[in-house]
Structure 1
Amino acid sequence: MTALSSDAATPPPADPEVVRVPWSVIPDYHCFGCSPHNVSGLRLTFTPHGDGLQARFRLDRAFESYPGIVHGGLTGVICDEVMGNLIVLARHVPAFTVSQRTRFLTPLLIDREYRCVAQLSETGSGGLIQATAEIRDADDAVCAASAATYRPFALESVRHQLSLRDDEVALLAQALTTATALSPNGVPS
């Protein structure tokens, strides 16, 4: 489980099931969703799940909206992060979010445990990838559901937009091709 806190100086203890994301080859990557180096971020870690990929989390008051309630925008961010990393791990390609729709069934509460589970749908027209995610509480009740469409990209085609050195792009490209955590349909291999 990943315990999140804006005060946390170190990432949670190592879990042998945690899937290493390709971005981790860049020593100080700062992804808001999954980097252990971003002290303002969510610091999500991922584990295989029967239907794809999951992240367990608990958010503190640094992520609050109304008193005791997690800011709703973070619900979408968490779903997007798990779906996006599932694509990277299963299809070995990064992808930009094209559209995302999130249904909020119940508010997420501060200092409660949740898990976000993502799975892949079919590849759509034009090579677009469809994914879905649900955030579930400790009783396994669905609190939010999200569906998104992603456009895969080649690192070289967006090189001008990335703030990475050439050696970091090469490391990331190699990590993408060797990631073996999940099968192409998102189910653990």
Structure 2
Amino acid sequence: MTAVLPWSGRADHHCFGCSPANPGGLRLEFTEDGDTLTAEFTLGRHFESYPGVVHGGITAVICDETMGNLIVLRRGVPALTTSMRTRYVGVVSVGRTYRCVARATSGDALVPASAEILDSHGQVVVTATATYQMQRSSP
């Protein structure tokens, strides 16, 4: 099922990761499936580092967005990243389709989460773990 974030449709929603109104952003769309949130994406050359390779910082953003938005959908309030570790185990290539899958465990003020980016064959190319601080009220 397509996930609808609490701020979707707001005029001031310009998130680099998920706003369709940000022309320079990733424009990620999320799908809920049980206890996971997924974002499928294909990136162009404007997100490139080495020729044909997506910049590692961009893949970290995708993991962070997917994990954080999973927590937002479960808790109803923004989740701010307090720490994140990213491991690059393969190449994310420009022009190919990938899928980021996030999971979160329960927590009170701090919520741990993890994500993987998989290629079209299901091979893991990036992993991430993070901790999120729950914001008390929505912006």
Common fold: TM-score over 0.5: yes
Q: Is the 8 A contact 1:49 1:117 kept in 2?
A: no
Q: Which of 67, 86, 100 in structure 1 is aligned with 2:51?
A: 67
Q: 2:121 — aligned with what? A: 139
Unaligned segments of structure 1, at least 5 residues:
1-16, 157-168, 170-189
Amino acid at match of 2:17: G
Q: 1:166 — aligned with what? A: none
Q: Is the 8 A contact 1:132 1:145 kept in 2?
A: yes
The more displaced of 95-104 and 20-29 is 20-29
Identity %: 53
- Give CA-to-partner distance per residue, 1:15-45, whole Å, 9 cap, x none: xx32111111412410000000000000000
Bigger proportion of residues as helix: 1
| TM-score where L is the length of structure 2 | 0.95
The more displaced of 78-87 and 46-55 is 46-55
Structure of greater Rg: 1
Equivalent residue pairs, number: 139
Q: Which of 53, 67, 72 in structure 2 is aligned with 1:83?
A: 67
**Distance in 1 (alpha carbons) for counterparts of 2:27 and 2:47:** 13
Q: What is the aligned-residue RMSD (CA, Å)?
A: 1.4
Detail structure 1 runs of 4+ shifted over 3 Å in the superposition: none
Unaligned segments of structure 2, at least 5 residues:
none
Q: 1:24 — aligned with what? A: 8
**Distance in 1 (alpha carbons) for counterparts of 2:113 and 2:34:** 15
**Distance in 2 (alpha carbons) for counterparts of 1:25 and 1:155:** 19
**Distance in 1 (alpha carbons) for counterparts of 2:88 and 2:18:** 22
Bigger proportion of residues as strand: 2
